[in-house]
Amino acid sequence: MRFGVNYTPSHGWFHSWLHQDWDSVARDLDAIASLGLDHVRIFPLWPVLQPNRTWINQSGLDDLRHMAQLASDRGLDVYSDVLQGHMSSFDFLPSWLITWHKTNMFTDCKAIEAQSQLVSAVYDALADVPRFRGLTVGNECNQFEDASHPMSMPANAEQINAWLHAMIDPIESEASRRGQIVVHGENDAVWYEEGHAFTPTAASSIGDVSVIHSWAFNGTAQRYGSLSEATTRHAEYLMELSKAFATQPDRQVWLQEIGAPGNVINQSDAPEFCRRSVEHALDCENTYAITWWCSHDVDKSMGDFPPFEHDLGLFDQDGNLKPLGVEFSRLVKDYSLARVPKPRRCALVVRSDEQGEPVMKSACAPGGSLFDKWMELSDAHERPAIVSSKQAQDAEFLANRGIQECITVPMQAGIPYNAVSDPSLG
């Protein structure tokens, strides 16, 4: 079992890419390795790597490689993102994509070509680092397509799928040959938001594994409570939901982000939230990895963050291990050995259209009929899977997953969904 952490530098946050303090980075990585974790996910900033559409900053690539090498030297596997993109409520878009040069990163041919070239350049810079394990295209790039974004870049599902393939396809075969993965990771609008152009089928078929970002501030913790079954099983639920749209019954799922946001989870409850969430996620078959958000708290002298973003780390801003970090480290030691969960014998059915997409995403969202039924059965120790209506008619697919019973649930919407961390939701 892989356990890791999303690395947030203790010195300078991600602005540190402008001038790295390598001694500080080394101390951070030593601390992470001391917890028994086996991997880190690192985040270069897009404007630093590609400040001009036709010019990639080699110095930035060298810094990225150096960080990956430092992690590798400490026995940590390395996963890197590319298009950053979006981090903790801040956007880091290069100037050639916005204001006077405003265009659409998903549909503009020149912009797509530039992004694809950067993905390939980052891959080439890291490919032979001994413990480099793969790339994520970018961090929640889907939020740039969403109509709620102040600089939304509209696209349809066909255009988004073409964009994803343009990012992933050029390097996928070489990465596979080296035993590395290439994936894309979005926020949960993919699964919950009606009309969102990033789709469940794309999330569950494009790239080497499906990626889940589980944040309980989407209305779950507000509605059900910070240590409720619904909140502590939210990651498990999303992992199972993703399988309803996968074409392969054994497709792996990476819980790439999960954290304990203090605006909806009492910080005294954070270790218990961590324990329950991780143990529930481990009860999912074909789990690729669990990667906690995040390693280090953000220095409180930095302005304009949502307050809870300062306190998500396993370590505080002075490098002291927090109770949350103690608990996550204990879980790593307890569950690091490989284990195979029992198959889930019953499955809820998500009504899907001819393309395999859910006919009502909001029924899958917190407060929706499918979400609530899944939680009800889970609370009764039924361990339900989730399948699409197409999968429910495929006896071979069901047999491969060990599913013996399918339960159809009326599709009814729940509370309004919002991916933004709004304490008033619910």
Tell whether the model's pLDDT for residue 424 goes beyond 70. Answer: no
Same domain? For 158 and 253 the reply is: yes
Task: Write out the H or E segment, with its range, that includes residue 257.
Answer: strand 253-258
Percent of the chain, pLDDT > 70? 98
pLDDT tens, residue by residue, 68-90? 999 999 999 999 999 998 999 99
Same domain, residue pair 232 and 110: yes
Are 151 and 204 in a shared domain?
yes
Does residue 425 lie in a domain region? no
Lookup: tokens for 145:
């397509």
Q: For residue 418, is it within any domain?
A: no
101-120 pLDDT per residue, tens: 999 999 999 999 999 999 99
* Residue 385 in domain: yes
Q: What is the pLDDT of residues 321-371, one digit of tens each?
A: 999 999 999 999 999 886 789 999 999 999 999 999 999 999 999 999 999
Same domain, 70 and 211: yes
pLDDT category of residue 417 using cuts at 50, 70 and 90: confident
Give the type of residue at 77: D
Does residue 211 sit in the same domain as residue 352? Answer: no
Q: Could you write out the DSSP letters of every residue in 338-360?
A: ---PPPP-EEEEE-B-TTS-BS-
| Domain hosting residue 191, numbered range | 2-335
Is 372 found in the same domain as 308?
Answer: no
Residue 124 has pLDDT above 70, yes or no: yes
**pLDDT tens-digit map of 205-236:** 999 999 999 999 999 999 999 999 999 999 99
Whole-number pLDDT of residue 416: 72
Structure tokens of 228?
Answer: 């409720």
CA atoms of 125 and 61, how far apart (whole Å) = 6
Q: Does one domain contain both 176 and 321?
A: yes
> Which whole number is the average pLDDT over 403-407?
97
CB-based contact 36:74 (threshold 8 Å): no
- The answer to whether 252 and 210 are in contact (CB under 8 A) is yes
Q: What pLDDT digit, counting tens, does each position of 185-196 carry?
A: 999 999 999 999
Residue type for position 270: A
Per-residue confidence band for 9, with pLDDT thresholds at 50, 70 and 90: very high
pLDDT number for residue 91: 95
Q: Do both 360 and 322 map to the same domain?
A: no
* C-alpha torsion sign, points 89, 422, 236, 33: positive
